[in-house]
Structure 1
């Protein structure tokens, strides 16, 4: 699968590297300097390019930028019509302490308004990036932790499910994009549990229905 990574920070950089090592054709794009993209690509056998190059011909795109950069990266990406776009952005203010979209809408819904012809599905926004490599290293050995996935396009969700399993997680279907109103605030709980409470930041979660 050809995957474009729009935003090559902690989230996009780590997910892109794991997908590349899993056999996908990954292009890293959108960083402060091209040298970072080149380094990421060299470490995993991927490619470095512009946003337009990452999007062109992609089977899926990962949007992984700070909320303040969403407008800029979407301008460079174009209309994304018909494209599966995985979104892991949380709509945070510049201090990363408050949601700027919440309760009556969600970041997921706002993105769908910005690019209504894209096939949006949100995932990984409640999972610390520090868990990605440890989970991948344990793939197939332990009961996998969950990643919440929400979107209105069933086919796009299936693409996301497969890519999530490639990392080593199990997808937890969390309904439609509207449920981002409830999932995105949970990301703030993830921050507390991963970065504030004692212990490593490689925090994961798993939901179980008891019989």
Structure 2
């Protein structure tokens, strides 16, 4: 059963007191990060391109990497392409952007490569689907289901609640950068994710632990809200950034 909006907001009010808030004025990452994009579709491709432009080294992956080569050539020497296993081995940080129904297989196939690494999870269940992984997402929550199928990853829910076209336009947006909700049980992984959110031109909004990510999964008040960071914090009942 999905939690009610009131229950979510009450939980977030308590979680906002956790010492995880990250300064809003942090500059772009001082050193480039090696990032593996697992699933370079619309979201993965968009965010990966922004990271390359911010100075990071990014390997884009799909089951047909030859289709990504033109994009990589256009982006320059910091961009490369490969199969998902190659990208999982390449990155010190990973962006998971595969179809939700692919999670069980991806988790099995890539486990040896992603175990112990920070993984930014942007996946969502879309529409009606009878697959077990969809049923589990409805019953357990999206974040908890991803944890089940990605054991050993240092998971952060990030880039899951904002449309790719909005991410792409965020840095030049007249009304201010878009607030990107993020959640994790790993404080260090959260810090790294917040840095990479800024490097993609958005403003991180730390929601809390993975249980609190229900607030911005499909159906939650933070999903596709497309608000500035202060507006999103107000919607979710979080305290203002210090």
Query: What TM-score range do you get, normalising by the shorter chain?
Result: 0.7 to 0.9
| Distance in 2 (alpha carbons) for counterparts of 1:183 and 1:190 | 4
Task: Say if 1:92 and 1:100, in contact at 8 Å, map to a contact too.
Answer: no
| Distance in 1 (alpha carbons) for counterparts of 2:220 and 2:71 | 26
Give 3-state SS (helix, strand or coil) of 2:181's partner: strand
TM superposition score normalised by structure 2: 0.71
Q: Which residue of structure 2 aligns with residue 120 of structure 1?
A: 155
| Distance in 2 (alpha carbons) for counterparts of 1:188 and 1:69 | 26
The answer on 1:85 being equivalent to 2:119 is yes
| Distance in 2 (alpha carbons) for counterparts of 1:119 and 1:87 | 10
Q: Hey, which bits of structure 1, 4+ residues long, moved more than 6 A?
A: none
Q: Summarize the alignment of residues 1-80 of structure 1 with structure 2, pairs less than 5 Å apart.
A: 1-31=33-63, 33-45=64-76, 46-79=79-112, 80=114
Spell out, residue by residue over 1:101-128, the C-alpha distance to the aligned partner (whole angstroms, 9 max, x if none): 4564222112212233210000121101
Which protein has the larger Cα radius of gyration, Structure 1 or Structure 2?
Answer: 2
Deviates more, 1:4-13 or 1:172-181: 172-181
Deviates more, 1:66-75 or 1:56-65: 66-75
Q: Summarize the alignment of residues 192-211 of structure 1 with structure 2, pairs less than 5 Å apart.
A: 203-205=226-228, 206-209=231-234
Spell out, residue by residue over 1:12-36, the C-alpha distance to the aligned partner (whole angstroms, 9 max, x if none): 00000110111100000124x3232
Give 3-state SS (helix, strand or coil) of 2:105's partner: helix
How far apart are residue 181 of structure 1 and its match? 2.8
Task: Say if 2:121 and 2:157, in contact at 8 Å, map to a contact too.
Answer: yes
TM superposition score normalised by structure 1: 0.81
The answer on 1:172 being equivalent to 2:193 is no
Q: Summarize the alignment of residues 141-152 of structure 1 with structure 2, pairs less than 5 Å apart.
A: 143-152=176-185
Structure with the greater relative contact order (CA < 8 A, sep ≥ 6): 1 or 2? 2
